[in-house]
Amino acid sequence: DAKTTQPPSMDCAEGRAANLPCNHSTISGNEYVYWYRQIHSQGPQYIIHGLKNNETNEMASLIITEDRKSSTLILPHATLRDTAVYYCIVKANSKLTFGKGITLSVRP
Amino acid sequence: GAVVSQHPSWVICKSGTSVKIECRSLDFQATTMFWYRQFPKQSLMLMATSNEGSKATYEQGVEKDKFLINHASLTLSTLTVTSAHPEDSSFYICSARDAPGTGRLGDTQYFGPGTRLTVL
């Protein structure tokens, strides 16, 4: 599976949009981009995934560049409960390979 | 929804004993389940993949005789840590996936809440 690169951490103010970047320059045509998050001492929570088109659900939006080499997860109105480690994963077969993720801290 | 449960949520045991952790998919049939472990301040590491009715496939470096996995039904997988030692203390997390391509949940994995194992 293609490797992803994420900044180690970022913060944002409560109520503002949080834009979490991810680079996956070696992604293949049949590989999906998945986002999960892990709140401290809990199992990962599925957020969203996409292949080519931008996707939106009740939790977040996923913007994938046209060349598919990078993507951005957008939490439109961050709350304190969104503080977590966010993992961007590129997946083609059944396995998910977790990297270090990005730690998002939402400040009051 | 897609809910996965684990039991117990935490367990403390003595060195040399065996511990069984259950993983259940509550509202879907999981053709495949995965077991991960996570040490403090580290990311999740896949231990093994199990398909219902088949033997589990273990990742390199994971001892299959120490970490026994059973996936006897479409809603239940168990991980047994045999002869546990303090270095096995970790956060064990399972995930489950519907039938890819045909299941209503597609290829997405849904995770349980995790089980914290402490071996004294």
Q: Which residues from chain A sit within 8 angstroms of residue B4, using beta carbons? A: 43
Q: Is the Cβ pair B108, A98 closer than 8 Å?
A: no
Interface list for chain B against chain A, based on CB atoms closer than 8 Å? 2, 4, 6, 32, 34, 36, 43-46, 49, 91, 93, 95, 97, 100, 107-114, 116
Cβ–Cβ contacts within 10 Å for residue B2, how many? 19
Q: How far lies B14's CA from each of A28, B8, B117, B118, in Å?
A: 47, 16, 11, 9
Contact status, residue B107 vs residue B100, Cβ threshold 8 Å: yes
Q: What is the mean pLDDT of residues B19-42?
A: 94
Whether the predicted pLDDT of B54 surpasses 90 = no
Q: Is the Cβ pair A41, B116 closer than 8 Å?
A: yes
Q: Give the distance from residue A80's alpha carbon to the nearest chain B alpha carbon, in angstroms.
A: 20
Kindly report, residue by residue over B9-27, the tens digit of the pLDDT. 999 999 999 999 999 999 8
Q: What local confidence, expressed as pLDDT, does residue A29 receive?
A: 85
Kindly report, residue by residue over B78-102, the tens digit of the pLDDT. 999 999 999 999 999 999 998 666 5
Q: Which residues from chain A sit within 8 angstroms of residue B49, using beta carbons? A: 94-95
pLDDT tens string, chain A, 108 residues long: the values are 668 999 999 999 999 999 999 999 999 888 999 999 999 989 999 999 999 999 999 999 999 999 999 999 999 999 999 999 999 999 877 789 999 999 999 999
Q: Is the Cβ pair B111, A43 closer than 8 Å?
A: yes
Q: What is the mean pLDDT of residues B106-116?
A: 92
Cβ–Cβ contacts within 10 Å for residue A29, how many? 8
Q: How far lies A52's CA from each of A55, A67, A69, in Å?
A: 9, 9, 10
Q: Is the Cβ pair A43, B97 closer than 8 Å?
A: no
- DSSP per-residue codes, B8-48: -SEEEE-TT--EEEEEEESSS--SEEEEEEE-TTS--EEEE
Q: Is the Cβ pair A41, B114 closer than 8 Å?
A: yes
Pairing of the two strands B19-25 and B10-13: unpaired
**CA-based end-to-end distance of chain A:** 37
Q: Distance between CA A72 and CA A23 in Å, rounded?
A: 9
Facing A42 at nearest CB: one of B46, B110, B113: B113
Q: Is the Cβ pair B32, A95 closer than 8 Å?
A: no
Facing A46 at nearest CB: one of B34, B43, B110: B110
Element (H, E) at B93: strand B90-97
Q: Distance between CA A94 and CA A49 in Å, rounded?
A: 14
